[in-house]
């Protein structure tokens, strides 16, 4: 079943046409890898879906319904959780406070933004979550994020997306800066999410990871989607050449044949 469908999304920054035209569909329980060289427009595409900025043109459908995503909050409310490449955590806050940032457990809810945080719940939920992701041994939920390594931070950001069990989880280069063990943790997480029926959009430069977890591959180049293939129907070398654009003619034939 279709969960997310993009139709002809376009986005320019001044004269830079970061996204010329992007259309694709993401189905339930599917892992789609979004590939492409630096500056291809991958982050721009997912930022548009996650409400960081509005698109100039194009439509987004969630479960068949046309939606307009005006803010990050709006995307989250539609069940789209994103882990961005560049920004994810506030270093001066504790792990627990970061895990619940924007969705803090509170008492006396009617007080709105002045409602007191439910500190006990915050701490317990954070500890439970870290345990589930398998990093509780190493990390204390009360530690400040500024004291963590890059890889540990990434793990925290991923566990945060996990806890809200979103329909669509978008990961922008989640294995960057990660050690071997954490990288396996992330890939395992992606598989778990798929098993639980969630859809994952994974951006990465590591093609080996793609072949380990993805069902389908989408390749972008200069703001456009240039190829779309199921993993079973292709191999590493072909994908590599599509990304770099080394063999355009063969690639076009292949995509048209579908």
Partner 1 sequence: MTIAAEQEMPRSKRRSSLIRSPQFSSLVILIVLLAVFAIADGNFLSPLNISNMMAFLPELGIIALGMTLLLTAGEFDLSVGAVFGLAPVVVMLLVQNGGFDIGIALLAGLLLCIAIGAVNGLIVTKIGISSFLVTLSMLLVVRGAALYITQGFPLKSWDQPGFFVTLLAGSFNIGTFRFYTSLWWFIGLSLLAIYVLHYAKLGNWISAIGSNRNAAVARGVPADAVKVWLFILTSVLAGLAGMISAFRISAASPVAGTGYELEVIAMVVVGGTALTGGRGTILGTIVGALMLRSIRNGIVLIGVPGLAYNIFVGVIILAMLILHALLQKNAARS
Ligand X SMILES: Nc1ncnc2c1ncn2[C@@H]1O[C@H](COP(=O)(O)OP(=O)(O)OP(=O)(O)O)[C@@H](O)[C@H]1O
Note the residues at the interface with Mg ion (CB under 5 A).
43, 85
Q: Is 114 in the site for partner 1 (CB under 8 A)?
A: yes
Give the strand order in the sheet containing 57-62: 65-67, 57-62, 2-13, 16-27, 224-230, 216-221, 31-35, 199-203, 168-172, 80-83
Strands 224-230 and 216-221: antiparallel
40 binds, among partner 1, ligand X, Mg ion, none (CB under 5 to 8 A by kind): ligand X
Q: What is the b/e burial string over 92-107, where b = at least 16 CB atoms within 10 angstroms of the residue's CB?
A: eebbbbbbbeeebebe
> CA 177 → CA 152, 183, 248, distances in Å?
10, 9, 32
Q: Is 39 in the site for ligand X (CB under 6 A)?
A: yes
Provide, rounded to whole angstroms, the least separation between the CB of residue 47 and Mg ion. 9
Give 254's strand partners.
Answer: none
Of the candidates 72, 85, 136, 177, which one interacts with partner 1 according to CB under 8 A? 72
Q: Is 42 in the site for ligand X (CB under 6 A)?
A: yes
- 244 Cβ partners below 8 Å, 6+ apart? 37
Provide, rounded to whole angstroms, the least separation between the CB of residue 203 and Mg ion. 7
Smaller CB distance to partner 1: residue 30 or 173? 173
Provide, rounded to whole angstroms, the least separation between the CB of residue 88 and ligand X. 14
Of the candidates 1, 90, 165, 196, which one interacts with partner 1 according to CB under 8 A? 90
Of the candidates 3, 32, 33, 106, which one interacts with partner 1 according to CB under 8 A? 106
Of the candidates 4, 5, 35, 43, which one interacts with ligand X according to CB under 6 A? 43
Of the candidates 4, 18, 26, 126, which one interacts with ligand X according to CB under 6 A? 18
Of the candidates 16, 66, 132, 142, which one interacts with partner 1 according to CB under 8 A? 142
Q: Among 9-17, 57-65, 142-150, 211-219, which window interacts with partner 1 (CB under 8 A)?
A: 142-150
DSSP letter for 81, please.
E
The 8 Å CB, 24+ separation contacts for 185-193 are: 185/133, 185/134, 185/135, 185/155, 185/158, 186/154, 186/155, 186/158, 187/212, 187/213, 189/133, 189/158, 189/162, 190/31, 191/31, 193/31, 193/162, 193/169
Q: Which residues bind partner 1 (CB under 8 A)?
A: 50, 52, 71-73, 76, 82, 84, 86-94, 96-98, 101-104, 106, 111, 113-117, 119, 122-123, 141-142, 144, 146-147
Q: Which residues bind ligand X (CB under 6 A)?
A: 13, 16, 18, 36, 38-44, 85
């Amino acid at each position: 079943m279709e969960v997310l469908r993009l139709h002809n999304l376009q986005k320019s920054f001044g004269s830079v046409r970061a996204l010329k035209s992007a259309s694709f569909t993401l189905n339930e329980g599917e892992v789609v890898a979004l590939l492409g060289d630096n500056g291809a427009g991958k982050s721009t595409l997912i930022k548009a879906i996650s409400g960081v900025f509005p698109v100039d043109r194009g439509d987004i459908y969630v479960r068949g319904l046309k939606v307009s995503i005006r803010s990050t909050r709006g995307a989250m409310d539609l069940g789209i959780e994103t882990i961005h490449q560049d920004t994810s955590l506030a270093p001066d806050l504790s792990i627990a406070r970061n895990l619940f940032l924007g969705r803090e457990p509170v008492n006396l809810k009617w007080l709105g933004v002045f409602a007191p945080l439910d500190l006990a719940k915050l701490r317990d939920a954070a500890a439970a979550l870290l345990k589930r992701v398998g990093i509780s041994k190493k990390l204390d939920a009360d530690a400040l994020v500024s004291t963590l390594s890059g890889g540990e931070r990434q793990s925290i950001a991923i566990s945060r997306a996990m806890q809200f069990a979103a329909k669509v989880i978008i990961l922008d280069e989640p294995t960057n800066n990660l050690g071997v063990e954490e990288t396996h943790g992330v890939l395992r997480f992606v598989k778990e999410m798929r098993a639980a029926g969630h859809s994952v959009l994974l951006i990465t430069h590591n093609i080996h990871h793609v072949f380990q977890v993805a069902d389908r591959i989408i390749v972008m180049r200069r703001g456009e989607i240039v190829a779309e293939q199921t993993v079973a129907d292709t191999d590493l070398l072909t994908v590599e050449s599509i990304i770099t654009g080394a063999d355009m003619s063969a690639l076009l034939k292949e995509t048209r044949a579908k």
